Structure 1
Amino acid sequence: MIEQSIYEHLQSASELNILTQYGGKTAVFNQNAPADTDPMWAAKPQYPRIVFAADWEHSADRALGGTLSVDVFCQEQGIPPENMEPIVRNLLHGWFFSSGVETVAAQWVNSNYFTEPKNKIAGVTLTFALLGFPKMTISPDVIARINVWTAEQFPQLSVINQTELLPAWKPETGAAVYWRISATAPAGWIPDTYQTIWRTASLRGHVFAPDIASVTQTAQEIIGGLYAAKRLKKEHEAPVMVNTNNSIDPTADALRTGQMMVDATFGVIVHRVANQPLNHIYTDKIEV
């Protein structure tokens, strides 16, 4: 569960040692916090504390997306929420959370402060957009091939859906790459035949790195490597050509758009259904 990865990440953050404790652990909760009368609270003020919740929804282009809401509750006379907000925001914004085959990125949207005069509570709600990175497949599996190729040629990179990832990670010192398909269309530059049609899959490569210089360098190396490789090969399957039309836009949104554009061209064998054979033939003999 992605929520478990988020919970463990916040629990292990030394920056949150200023929170109160519950059951010997930092007071971070998923969905709901225990009642204030619960005996497992530490013998001191039960604030500050954090309660988060993830709301998931289907995303047309990514299959998985949603919103992460993080409520930080503070006592009016204790640590102010203005001090807590940047700490929590830095612990989640730009971070990736992985669980099994699922990976999502958290992107800060806004922060709204609130007060509860009756309970003498002040707090802040931080909202983050969650964007998924599902594994996309077609036949032939172009994405699987370029994932394997990228991981083999650039072992220093983390390739989403190929490299084993930590439950919580952030590309601060290295870089990460995600490949997806944005469209498929007739190749155009190779004529179709009776038995084979040629198609081009438009691939988008997302590069996540600490700064634009690292993004540009990483993207240039990958695109140059594809031109040099010319084809992505797999035993017993036709090759995929990747050296016709590739480009880079370092300023593109890394999360939603992707900075690398690659045309992957391949042939598709057309399987035609044979006509129903004649199994029984009868003839009448006519004498003239």
Structure 2
Amino acid sequence: MKLEELIQKRFVSTAALAERLTTYNGVPAVFSPEAPGDEQDGWGGETQYPMVTYNYDLQANEERNSAGSLSVSIFCQNTTDVFPEDIAPIVKECLRDVILLPEGGTPYCFTWARTDAFTMGEDAGKAGVVIGCEVRFDILEYPSMETSDPDPVMAVDKYIKELYPKCLVMGYDRMEEITEASADQPVVYCRLISSEKQEETNTVAWMDGRIAVHVLCPESTVRLKMAADIANHLSLDGEVIMLDYSPMFIKRLQVNYKSDYLKEGQVFITGHYGLLRYKAKPHVLMAAHGNYS
């Protein structure tokens, strides 16, 4: 599915949201980018409200450290029992710590940015006036950080997966179209922030790679405990074995419990690892003689 279809699927399949919306052709009234006109037969002669429309823009915003933005508009009438203020928290919760994986694309996550109320019409106190609010999210992209062998990110992915077999590690485990992080199954994402050559010898080029570890979970206590536990294990082990069985030494380790776990991460690792200049050569059979007698 495309990202637009996955957002639609997530909204429609959320029972708390669907039960507060009217229906169009028997389906909860969620549309992109605009709703059908009130003359359409799909409304079944019923009111159009409450309903939700959404639109997104995948244009990177470096200032907000995001890959784009999602705008969700909630429309109600002031004569109904359901108000935009009732639906907005459900929309926020619906996308909280949820990872969407479009077909052929990279995983996306959403973080709430702001909510603005609005009124359609001049007389807000008049019966039947449409009121609503716009809930805006920053879209965060979590691309695969797999580089080349030896790969420091894949090594940390494997290390955390062995430490927490029940967690889901992006880039290591198979992802579904819609994944919801939870206390029972937190989601971990590791990314390479930077790499720098520190020294070199005749056989090895020594690199320092800085890696950020994101622990996604709606419960803050689980996030904090898991981040602290990962850092403690790394401190005690002192190294992470890479996929070619060479060690990556933990040169520096930092944990920030107040950082934005979606945008920045909580655990920051500086790993010291080597790149071999020469590959091991197989033994060559020299001076072979055959005897066919």
Fold conserved between structures, TM > 0.5: yes
- What SS does the corresponding residue of 2:162 show, helix, strand or coil? helix
Which residue matches 1:281? none
Q: Say if 2:14 is the partner of 1:4.
A: no
Q: Which amino acid aligns with 1:5?
A: L
- What SS does the corresponding residue of 2:58 show, helix, strand or coil? strand
Which residue matches 1:217? 225
Is the CA contact (8 Å cut-off) linking 2:77 and 2:129 kept in structure 1?
yes
Quick one: distance in 1 between partners of 2:220 and 2:74? 32
Q: Say if 2:129 is the partner of 1:102.
A: no
Is the CA contact (8 Å cut-off) linking 2:211 and 2:269 kept in structure 1?
yes
Is the CA contact (8 Å cut-off) linking 2:155 and 2:240 kept in structure 1?
no
Deviations 1:197-218 (A, max 9, x none): 1111011111123444322321
For 1:181, which of 170, 192, 206 is the aligned residue? 192
Which residue matches 2:134? 125
Alpha-carbon deviation of 1:179?
0.5
Alpha-carbon distance change, 99 to 269 in structure 1, aligned in 2, over 3 angstroms: same
Q: Which amino acid aligns with 1:162?
A: Y
Q: How many residues align?
A: 266
Which residue matches 1:19? 21
Deviations 1:205-262 (A, max 9, x none): 111234443223212322333342723232xx36241433223222222112211111
Which residue matches 1:239? 246
Quick one: distance in 2 between partners of 1:112 and 1:63? 21
Q: Say if 2:162 is the partner of 1:152.
A: yes
Alpha-carbon distance change, 243 to 164 in structure 1, aligned in 2, over 3 angstroms: same
For 1:196, which of 185, 204, 215 is the aligned residue? 204
- Which ranges in structure 1 are unaligned for 5 or more consecutive residues? 272-288
Alpha-carbon distance change, 156 to 85 in structure 1, aligned in 2, over 3 angstroms: same
Deviating more after overlay: 72-81 vs 126-135: 72-81
Deviating more after overlay: 175-184 vs 164-173: 164-173
Q: Cα RMSD (Å) of the superposition?
A: 2.6
Quick one: distance in 2 between partners of 1:123 and 1:87? 14
Quick one: distance in 1 between partners of 2:15 and 2:139? 24
Deviations 1:117-169 (A, max 9, x none): 28832111111111111112333322122223322331121212222334141
- Which ranges in structure 2 are unaligned for 5 or more consecutive residues? 123-127, 279-293
